[in-house]
Chain A
Amino acid sequence: DTAVSQTPKYLVTQMGNDKSIKCEQNLGHDTMYWYKQDSKKFLKIMFSYNNKELIINETVPNRFSPKSPDKAHLNLHINSLELGDSAVYFCASSLSTGELFFGEGSRLTVL
C-alpha cells in the first residue's frame, strides 16, 4: 500500500480554471504538508497542518486553499490558475517532528 498517495499524478488545464489535488496518508501521522517544486527544481514549503489545524502558511497567494477534512487527508484547491502555478506539487506527512514521507508528486501544467 502506498504510504502517501496523491491524485491526480498529472493535471493539464487552462489559465483561470479551478483545480484540486488530493492527498491521503495511511501512516497514522498527525502532520501533513504541501511543497511546490518549480522548473528550477527548488522545493518550497507551502503549508503545514498539524491535527487538521493550519500551522504554517508560507506567504502563498490566497488562491491556494488547503483543506484537511481529517488527519489522514490534506487537499489543495487552487482557484484562478496562472501560468506560474505550473510545477510539481508534493504532499508529505510526518509524526510532529519526525521524518517526512513524501508522495510521488502531482505535475500541474497550466496552459
Chain B
Amino acid sequence: DAKTTQPPSMDCAEGRAANLPCNHSTISGNEYVYWYRQIHSQGPQYIIHGLKNNETNEMASLIITEDRKSSTLILPHATLRDTAVYYCIVRGTIAGNMLTFGGGTRLMVKP
C-alpha cells in the first residue's frame, strides 16, 4: 500500500471548518483513500473513503485532487467532540487487505 504524509497536529476553532490534508503521491490506480479517526481511549472509527471523485457523508467531505496525489478531509463545523487523531490511509482492494496506520494528525478543536 502507498504511504501517506500528514501534518502531526492542527488546531481548529469550534464551529469552523477543519481541513485536514494528506499527501499520497505514490498511490496506484486501484487504491482507495480512507480516513479514520481515533478519539482518546477509543477504537478507530471509519469516517469516509473515496477513489477519484469527491465524497460526502454525514460526518465529513473528502476532496481528492485530480492527479490523486493528495486529498483533504473536511469537517464542516468542528465541535469539541471532533478532537481526535485523524488517519489518512491508502488501501488496495485485495480481500482481507489490511489498513496500515501512520502517525496521523492530532486535531485539537478549541472553544
Contact = CB atoms under 8 A, between A and B. Distances in A.
A41 B85 contact: yes
Chain A, interface size category, equals: 20 to 34
Interface of A: 4, 31, 33, 35, 41-45, 48-50, 55-56, 90, 92, 96-97, 99-105
B95 A90 contact: no
A104 B43 contact: yes
Given A92-B43, A97-B95, A99-B34, 17 more contacts: A4-B43, A41-B85, A45-B98, A45-B100, A50-B95, A55-B95, A55-B96, A56-B98, A90-B44, A97-B93, A97-B94, A97-B97, A99-B46, A100-B36, A102-B43, A102-B44, A104-B43
Interface in B41-71: 41-46, 49
Contacts of A97: 91-97
Contacts of A101: 46
B103 interface: yes
Interface of B: 34, 36, 38, 41-46, 49, 85, 87, 91-101, 103
Given A90-B44, A99-B34, A105-B43, A42 B96 contact: no
B105 to A, nearest CB: 13
Contacts of A41: 85
A35 B87 CA distance: 15
Contacts of A45: 98-100
A90 B43 contact: yes
